[in-house]
């Protein structure tokens, strides 16, 4: 695989070629979040500044009272709660999520801090149209506590990844990555805060390139 590196300050952005499922389409985004919604805000700001030609159709969240809901209200985006605690099966939850996404005419789903495993019900409803942002340089440090995993492993470089979603956790084709140095005095909190800065940069960038057809030839 050929990869291109674009240097921004001290951060290397890795762009890998893969399929462009949305080439030529106007992005109608459904965001899924479980926490603060800072990546939701980054996407909203990219749209408002005309960096990203897209529309936010709906925010789906699973934890009542989270900050992401307030961010959606600020931007005038409908927010729909699907509390995972109300569902006995993951497939049932995902079926309700799919229904909500379809009702809001979504054509691209962004898992922006969605802290739940997804099932084929969701993945097959939006094949190659679900992206995830993960706080590590995949394929290293998949799953939960990725930042802590990186620090425990003693790596010198950390970062974040935007990738297409597959059934296996954090395993889909990589779209964009950003790398940052791990500092000697980094804690999980300080490292995660610096990684989030890069998440907010590369997630809109990945969506721009996805819509433009920049990712090809790998599934």
The CATH code of the domain that includes 176 is 3.40.50.170
67: confidence class by pLDDT, cuts 50, 70, 90: very high
pLDDT above 90 coverage of the chain, percent: 83
Question: Quick check: 171 pLDDT over 90?
Answer: yes
Catalytic residue status for 134: yes
Residue 212's pLDDT is 80
Looking at the fold, whether 149 and 78 belong to one and the same domain comes out as no
Residue 180's pLDDT is 98
Residue with tokens 């005309």: 50
- Distance between CA atoms of residues 148 and 171, nearest Å: 19
Residue 217's pLDDT is 43
- Nearest in space to 159 (alpha carbons), one of 210, 201, 128: 201
Looking at the fold, whether 115 and 28 belong to one and the same domain comes out as yes
Question: Quick check: 122 pLDDT over 50?
Answer: yes
Which of 126, 148, 182 is the C-terminal boundary of a domain?
A: 126
Question: Quick check: 103 pLDDT over 70?
Answer: yes
Out of 18-27, 107-116, 152-161, 163-172, pick the least confident: 18-27
- Nearest in space to 63 (alpha carbons), one of 41, 44, 85, 31: 85
- The model's pTM is 0.87
Out of 35-44, 111-120, 173-182, 204-213, pick the least confident: 204-213
Selecting among 134, 163, 192, 200, the annotated active-site residue is: 134
| Helix, strand, coil share of the chain (percent; to 5) | 35, 25, 40
- Distance between CA atoms of residues 38 and 44, nearest Å: 10
Question: Quick check: 4 pLDDT over 90?
Answer: no
Residue 13's pLDDT is 47
pLDDT, averaged across the chain: 89
Backbone angles phi, psi at 160, to 5 degrees: -145, 160
Q: Averaged over 182-189, what is the pLDDT?
A: 98
**Domains in the chain, number:** 2
Question: Quick check: 10 pLDDT over 70?
Answer: no
Residue 26's pLDDT is 85
Question: Quick check: 92 pLDDT over 50?
Answer: yes
Residue 144's domain spans which residues? 1-21+131-219
- Distance between CA atoms of residues 154 and 140, nearest Å: 13
**Residue 88 CB contacts under 8 Å (≥ 6 apart), including other chains:** none
Residue with more model confidence, 2 or 69: 69
Burial letters for 136-156: b for 16+ Cβ neighbours within 10 Å, e otherwise?
A: bbbebbeeeebbebbbeeebe
Which of 73, 103, 126 is the C-terminal boundary of a domain?
A: 126
Out of 3-7, 45-49, 185-189, pick the least confident: 3-7
Residue 210's pLDDT is 87
Burial class (CB in 10 A: 0-12, 13-18, 19+), 27: buried
Looking at the fold, whether 11 and 33 belong to one and the same domain comes out as no
């Amino acid at each position: 695989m050929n990869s291109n590196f674009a240097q921004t300050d001290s951060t290397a952005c890795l762009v890998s070629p893969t399929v462009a499922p949305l080439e030529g389409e106007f992005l109608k985004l459904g965001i899924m979040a479980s926490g603060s919604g800072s990546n939701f805000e980054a996407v909203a700001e990219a749209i408002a500044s005309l960096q990203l030609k897209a529309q936010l159709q709906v925010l789906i969240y699973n934890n009542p009272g989270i900050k992401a809901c307030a961010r959606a209200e600020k931007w005038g985006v409908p927010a729909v709660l699907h509390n995972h605690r109300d569902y006995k099966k993951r497939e049932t939850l995902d079926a309700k999520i799919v229904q909500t996404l379809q009702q809001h005419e979504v054509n691209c789903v962004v898992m922006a801090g969605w802290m739940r495993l997804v099932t084929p019900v969701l993945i097959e409803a939006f094949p190659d149209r679900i992206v995830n942002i993960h706080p590590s340089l995949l394929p290293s440090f998949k799953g939960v506590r990725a930042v802590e995993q990186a620090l425990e492993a003693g790596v010198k470089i950390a970062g974040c990844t935007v990738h297409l979603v597959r059934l296996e956790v954090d395993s889909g084709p990589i779209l964009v990555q950003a790398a940052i140095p791990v500092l000697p005095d980094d804690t999980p909190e300080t490292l995660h805060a610096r990684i989030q800065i890069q998440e907010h940069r590369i997630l809109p960038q990945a969506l721009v390139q996805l819509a433009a057809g920049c990712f090809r030839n790998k599934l």
